[in-house]
Structure 1
Amino acid sequence: MKPAPFDYHAPSTIEEAVGLLAELGEDAKAIAGGQSLVPMLALRLAAFDHLVDLRRVAGLRGVERRDGSLWIGAGTTQAAIQRSAEVAEAVPLLARATPLIGHFQIRNRGTVGGSIAHADAAAEYPAVALALDARLEAFSPRGHRTIPAARFFTGLWSTDLADDELLTGITFPARGPRSGFAVEEYARRHGDFAIAGAAVAIGLDAGARIRHCGIGLFGLGPTALRASAAESAVTGSAAAEVPPDDVGRTAMAELRSVPSDLHGSADYRRRVGAAMVARAWQKALREASDG
Structure 2
Amino acid sequence: MIPGTFDYFAPSTVDEAVTLLSDRGPDARVLAGGQSLIPMMKLRLAEPPVLVDLNRVEGLGGIEERDGHLRIGAMTRHAALETSDLIGARYPLIADAAAVIADPLVRNRGTTGGSLAHADPAGDLGSVMTALGAEIVVTGPSGERTLSIDDLLLGPFATTLEEGEIMTEVRVPLPGAGSAGAYEKLERKVGDFATAAVAVQLSRENGSCSSIGIALTAVGPTTIRAGAAEDHLRGGALDEAALRAASELAAEAAEPAADLRGSEEYKRDMVRVLTLRALRRAIARAGG
In the superposition, the TM-score normalised over structure 2's length comes to 0.96
Partner of residue 274, structure 1: 272
SS in 2 for 1:239: coil
Aligned ranges 1:181-200 → 2 under 5 Å: 181-200=181-200
Asked whether the equivalents of residues 91 and 181 of structure 2 are also in contact (C-alpha less than 8 Å), the reply is no
Cα RMSD (Å) of the superposition? 1.3
For structure 2, the 5+ residue unaligned runs are none
Partner of residue 228, structure 2: 229
The percentage of counterpart residues that share the same residue type is 41
Deviation track 1:49-85 (CA, whole Å, cap 9, x = no partner) reads 1111110000101112112311011011111222211
Partner of residue 135, structure 2: 135
Distance 1:138 1:106 in 2: 24
Q: How many residues align?
A: 288
Q: Return the offset for 1:44.
A: 2.5
Partner of residue 79, structure 1: 79
Partner of residue 288, structure 1: 286
In the superposition, the TM-score normalised over structure 1's length comes to 0.95
Partner of residue 239, structure 1: 238
Partner of residue 150, structure 1: 150
Partner of residue 119, structure 1: 119
Displaced runs of 4 or more, over 4 A: none
Q: Which amino acid aligns with 2:169?
A: G
For structure 1, the 5+ residue unaligned runs are none
Asked whether the equivalents of residues 210 and 234 of structure 2 are also in contact (C-alpha less than 8 Å), the reply is yes
Q: Return the offset for 1:10.
A: 0.8
Distance 1:78 1:171, change over 3 A: same
Partner of residue 42, structure 1: 42
Asked whether the equivalents of residues 89 and 175 of structure 1 are also in contact (C-alpha less than 8 Å), the reply is no
Asked whether the equivalents of residues 229 and 246 of structure 2 are also in contact (C-alpha less than 8 Å), the reply is yes
SS in 1 for 2:146: strand
Q: Return the offset for 1:271.
A: 1.2
Asked whether the equivalents of residues 33 and 111 of structure 1 are also in contact (C-alpha less than 8 Å), the reply is yes
Asked whether the equivalents of residues 62 and 76 of structure 1 are also in contact (C-alpha less than 8 Å), the reply is yes
Partner of residue 66, structure 1: 66
Deviation track 1:228-252 (CA, whole Å, cap 9, x = no partner) reads 1110111111112544332221012
Q: Return the offset for 1:3.
A: 2.2
